A and B are shown apart, each in its own frame.
Chain A
Amino acid sequence: MSQSMGELLQILIIFVVLLALVKPLGSFMASVYLGKFTFLAPLENLLYRICGVQQDEEMGWQRYAASMLFFNLVMFVSLFALLLLQHLLPLNPQKLPPFNWQLTLNTAISFTTNTNWQNYSGEQAASYLTQMAGFGLHNFASAATGMAIVIALIRGFSRRKSSAIGNFWVDLTRGTLYILLPISIVAALLLVSQGVIQNFSPYKTVPLLQASQGRDRLELESVTIPMGPVASQEAIKELGTNGGGFFNANSSHPFENPTPLSNCLEILLILLIPVSLTYTFGYMVGNTRQGWMLLSVMLFLLFVSFALLQWAEVVGNPLVTRLGVVGANMEGKELRFGISGSSLFSVATTATSCGAVNSMHDSLTPLGGLIPLSLILLGEIVFGGVGSGLYTMLAFAIIAVFVSGLMIGRTPEYLGKKIEVKEIWMSIITILTAGVVVLILSGLAMITPSAVASMANPGAHGLSEVLYAFASMANNNGSAFAGLNANVPFYNLLGALAMTIGRYIPALAVLAMAGFLAEKKCIPPSLGTLPTDKLPFALWLALVILIVGALTFFPALALGPIVEHLSMQ
């Protein structure tokens, strides 16, 4: 079997398995949140009793939002403390020092907001306790939070004249207990089978087979190999679209992602929940076609992106080609994944707000790099983060419905709910917050000398790095165009701000919208109602997403990747 056939087969397997799982997992998740699955009831009830949660108590959107914020604040404070105190705590065989406060702030917010932007190097900065009780725990918590929010929004659509949108604590517990934990356990075991490590050993120092020269011209005779409980974290890192690597090299590290099979598994895990949530949505609003429609829009954007990225990388760098090196652009990629395995991972991780990487996005060709950047800038709606992707997509659908509804002469409605001023406000806030943050902060960075000094590659490429950094943080993606030293006060602090705004402003807007929608009555569809589960609306939705994205970022992209590409021709 040739290399390219093998790569094609991998992609095929990933999507066949993925699409086969959409319906079972999607309906399973719906059942979990509807309270129909209770096989862990004793454990669940015990947790509620310990925390004093009234299981049957329904919350209005304000209480739901307040509970969500309170929980996230507690999680933030606990991680903040852990990072500052890790040198005093156990499971720190390397005697790693505490984080400085700016990095602590950035990192604690990063993991609480499901961004997992990393201004530190995992193996050099975080103890095993920090990795597990800090980052690992937050991977579950932030993912469950995102899912709870989208479930609340879905209830807003499905309920009629109701003042309540569910119970945050119950949604949080069920999402973790029934969905995230079981899948993570299975996935971690599968990853271990591929060679992902899981231990608490101190780092190993091994002699080199052949001595070599380091950067400082000193003879190197041995190398330190970091260890750790990697597999358990790797599973939830992908599944919860978190993306914070155990090691600095993230999923390109052989201990995180050793084989093509583990690579396929990780891509699958990244896409699994965000993709299946579309079915959960359709199931809960009583029309699964609505879910399939959203999924088809997402898949369309994903395939187009993948094809473009693949093409750009296969064509390679014309400057290198001119030097006589013909072939694809392999810089920054792992040979074991090849072009396709790397491209698909890059697209999957930026389409969702995962942010794990198995190749270096900074080393992509300019047009290739434009693809992950664009997927993030579109607002993380092509699947997006667990929960957050779907609720942002639904906000886009509401805007699309609003304009198209007018075009057919109706005051617009979506899923039987009238779309009025309040819903438009909330949808706009949900969609545009991240973009506004990116525009302001990237502009600020370009005229701040200390921010400019962090660029490893000045010029158009440096501009892309800064744009990517803020896009990634504001949209809670977490992947980086490396080449930018972001562990400086400017990026640590403004990045923390970007992540906080990018996560919580839309989340609050979504919960408010869930509350407003739940109160409305439901209008039965007629011939005069625009069907939102058919092809014309799907195309219109895709168009709205692309136009909003393109109009917001065309100038910045022209000065970054586009001009860089043109300069290379």
Chain B
Amino acid sequence: MSKHTQKPQSAFDKELLQGALLESLKKLDPRQLWRNPVMLCVEMASLITLFTFGMSLSGANKEPAWFTGAVSAWLWLTVIFSTFAEALAEGRGKARAASLRSSRTNVTAKRLEKPEFTSAVTTVGAGQLRKGDCILVEAGEMIAGDGDVVAGAALVNESAVTGESAPVIRESGGDRSAVTGGTTVIANSIIVRITANPGETFLDRMIGLIEGAKRRKTPNEVALEVLLIALTVVFLLVCANIAPLSIYSVKAAGQGTPVTLTILTALFVCLAPTTIAALLPAIGIAGMDRLFQKNVIALSGRAIEAAGDVNVLLLDKTGTITHGNREAVAFVPLGGHSEQELAEAALMASLADETPEGRSVVTLAKQKYGLTRETPKDAEVVEFSAETRLSGINLAGNQYRKGASDSTIAFVKGLGATSIPPELADLVDRIARAGATPLVVSRDKEIMGVINLKDIVKAGIQERFLQLRSMGIKTVMITGDNPLTAAAIAAEAQVDDFLAQAKPEEKLRLIKEYQEQGYMVAMTGDGTNDAPALAQADVAVAMNTGTQPAREAANIIDLDSNPTKLLDIVEVGKQILMTRGNLTTFSISNDIAKYFAIIPAALLSIYPQLGVLNLMGLTSPYSAILSAVIFNAIIIPLLVPLALKGTKFRAMPAEKLLIHNLLIYGLGGIIVPFVGIKAIDMVIGTML
């Protein structure tokens, strides 16, 4: 399968960088910047230093103009670096949105009076379609809006939305009736009832989300921002407090000058949590974008964060834990027949069976017993039916059948069989108990033996569950199988719990139960009957192949329709939160070194004794202050890659993870600026 997703974009693609640079300047507009109050404060601070720079030039300020000018320039750069980070994160999404948008320009639709193929047709623009309208879409045409197929079946290319070039079947009724605007019908004609007004379609929502236009701050982001703003206010007051204290100290000491406005402003910007505030928007946007690259669309940032918190995962057995198709793994003969005989009978009974199970029987017969057969022309095919629950063929007077134990027994008895092998019941039971499915094979009125069909658990899934468990996430397998089968597979896959013979209402009840106990529940689903459970779950992932109700009930859509994605989503959710937390700790820890750079420098003229606080041995007061300001600014672009990629995810218990991250970002946050400021000072010192 080929993917035509956007060409892989490195964070520093040249075109992207240029666009981001331009955008970052536009974002300096206070009307845009107010969404990031901390950076707005920094912009105000930059304005103040611009003013003191002007005063230096005119001679009204005694500080040298090169100093006030340099401080001002670097403060402006601090703001620009921050808007640049945000613009860069948005830029990647925008490129993708542009390609999406181009895919559905100027679409026209054939509106039908009635949902019938023979009904009269009016040609209208896509923009004129309203909910409830019915349109005819023929081969080669683009579907003009989201809707449900109400008549017909067609092959649809959904690559515009999913990036998946293999076409899919969309047909009326059932779980495959939903179509998305912007996708193209390749073969046949369908009638689609429109379910979304223009501007509200899936594609529209997607574009909005990717562009960041509709992006709303998540509750957790707001909480962190409150903390950052509070710290900023405190640091503002700390700096304001230094002014009167230094004025008094000058009088008391009889020497020196009060700390100047330029230095106070510089100190304020250095202390304010600019590093995290600058990167905060980028972290969220980049997280969504990372999910997007995995072909997952989160309909809200909140859903991704909730994914980081999930402690119960409801996983459909089929497709997530097992490959989905049961495969024949053994033939067990009965009643004195040999394995070879049974294999032949089973092969005959499965020749016309196009289901994956049937084909796996053919494969096994070929691989293990060297049997190959084409379906003979004169064979009479007996299709599986709900009444008989058997399938097979009639060939040359022989009737080959396979089916569930009770229906096969009923069939052979119907043909006049007098005795059933006594071991059959035991054997069937044993196979079922082991989590497999027994299929009984008969030739005429004889029971030949049993095919052991097994659900194959995906390779490596156990390790994945082990990881989840170590992170405190409980996995629950949902299956329609009977409890015996379910228990066996649950044990093999090592899930924590399972729900057998699951009906939609039972899924809903299970989710509610877990939520009542305080758990956060994630689940995947695709069918219409999953919709209530999806709506109830905290994190609900709908498959893109799913029905419209399922997609509407979900808050995350997986374009690849791959249920294992849930695990990736949890990871990205955690990464976003971790990146925020780590950079906050880093940002605050940095302040210690900045104090030791700026405070002695600022107060040296009043109290020369404070020189001992100059732990880094910085060259001169001006150089010390400038070095701190420069460090504070350039740490932002240096951390942009980290913000975009997210801190590395590690599956380990909470306590270990905390110690690990505290050592890197807490302790590192204390040490790094000491080294960085000293290094910058050594460079500047030589220039002064």
Partner-B contacts on A (CB < 8 A): 399, 402-411, 416, 419-421, 424-425, 428, 432, 435-436, 439-440, 442-444, 446-447, 452, 458-460, 462-463, 521-524, 526-531, 534, 536-537, 540, 543, 547, 550-556, 558-559, 562-563, 566-567, 569
Contacts and interface: CB of A to CB of B under 8 A. Distances in A.
B230 A529 contact: no
Given A404-B581, A411-B308, 10 more contacts: A406-B577, A421-B219, A424-B223, A436-B233, A442-B241, A443-B240, A447-B247, A528-B471, A555-B599, A558-B610
Interface stretch (B248-256, B424-432, B671-679): B248-256
Interface of B: 219-220, 222-224, 226-227, 230, 233-235, 237-238, 240-249, 252-253, 271, 305-306, 308-309, 311, 469-474, 516-520, 573-575, 577-578, 580-582, 584-585, 588-589, 591-592, 595, 599, 603, 606-607, 609-610, 612-613, 649, 653-655, 657-659, 661-662, 665-666
A403 B580 CA distance: 9
Residue with the highest number of chain A CB atoms closer than 10 Å, among B244, B305, B519: B244
A447 B221 CA distance: 40
A442 B247 CA distance: 13
A408 B607 contact: no
- Can you list the 7 inter-chain pairs with the closest CB atoms, starting with the nearest? A406-B581, A528-B472, A409-B574, A526-B472, A527-B472, A407-B581, A566-B609
A462 B227 contact: no
A559 B595 contact: no
B595 A443 contact: no
13 contacts: A406-B220, A407-B662, A409-B308, A440-B237, A442-B241, A523-B519, A527-B469, A534-B655, A536-B658, A547-B592, A551-B595, A555-B241, A556-B245
Contacts of A459: 252-253
Contact of A411 (B473, B577, B649, B657): B577
Nearest to B607: A563
B238 A439 contact: yes
B311 A420 contact: no
B223 A566 contact: no
A407 B585 contact: yes
B661 A446 contact: no
A419 B585 CA distance: 18
Contact of B518 (A406, A523, A551, A554): A523
B249 A460 contact: yes
A160 B214 CA distance: 35
Contacts of A547: 588-589, 591-592
A435 B231 CA distance: 12
Contacts of B591: 547, 551
A101 to B, nearest CB: 28
Nearest to B608: A566
B245 A559 contact: yes
Given A447-B248, A558-B610, A527 B234 contact: no
Contacts of B589: 547
B248 A552 contact: no
A406 B252 CA distance: 46
B169 to A, nearest CB: 40
A406 B580 contact: yes
Contact of B244 (A411, A432, A444, A531): A444
Given A403-B581, A410-B577, A554 B595 contact: yes
A559 B249 contact: yes
B652 to A, nearest CB: 9
Contacts of B588: 547, 551
Contacts of A419: 223
Contact of B248 (A463, A521, A522): A463
A402 B227 contact: yes
A553 B239 CA distance: 10
Chain A residues touching B, majority SS: helix
A569 B249 CA distance: 19
Contacts of A409: 308, 573-575, 577-578, 581, 649, 657
A416 B592 CA distance: 33
B640 to A, nearest CB: 19
B252 A443 contact: no
Contacts of B649: 409
Given A436-B234, A551-B595, A566-B610, A404 B577 contact: no
A428 B227 contact: yes
A407 B578 contact: yes
Contacts of B470: 527
A420 B222 CA distance: 9
Nearest to A521: B518
B658 A407 contact: yes
A425 B230 CA distance: 9
A407 B241 contact: no
A563 to B, nearest CB: 5
Nearest to A424: B223
B658 A458 contact: no
B228 to A, nearest CB: 10
Contact of A408 (B247, B305, B520, B578): B578
Given A408-B654, A566-B610, A439 B241 contact: yes
B610 A563 contact: yes
Given A406-B577, A432-B234, A550-B592, A424 B227 contact: yes
Contacts of A404: 581, 658, 662
A526 B223 contact: no
A501 B4 CA distance: 63
A443 to B, nearest CB: 4
Contact of B584 (A406, A444, A526, A531): A406
A377 B606 CA distance: 25
Contact of B653 (A446, A527, A567): A527
Contacts of A432: 230, 234
A443 B578 contact: no
A551 to B, nearest CB: 5
Contacts of B237: 436, 439-440
Contacts of B238: 439, 551-553, 555
Nearest to B646: A409
A355 B403 CA distance: 87
A460 B254 CA distance: 12
B226 A428 contact: yes
A540 B244 contact: no
B654 A528 contact: yes
Contacts of A446: 244-245, 247-248
B248 A407 contact: no
Contacts of B473: 526, 528
Contact of B658 (A522, A530, A558): A530
A435 B659 CA distance: 29
Contacts of A403: 227, 581, 584-585
A123 to B, nearest CB: 34
A428 B227 CA distance: 7
Nearest to B239: A555
A528 B469 CA distance: 9
B497 to A, nearest CB: 14
A404 B238 CA distance: 25
Given A446-B248, A523-B518, A563-B610, A558 B219 contact: no
Contacts of A439: 234, 237-238, 240-241
B474 A526 contact: yes
A432 B236 CA distance: 13
B654 A527 contact: yes
A556 to B, nearest CB: 6
A534 B233 CA distance: 32
Contacts of B230: 428, 432
A201 B428 CA distance: 102
Residue with the highest number of chain B CB atoms closer than 10 Å, among A550, A553, A559: A559
Contacts of A436: 233-234, 237
A406 B242 contact: no
A421 B657 CA distance: 24
A554 B393 CA distance: 90
A421 B243 contact: no
A566 B611 CA distance: 10
Nearest to A435: B234
A20 B365 CA distance: 78
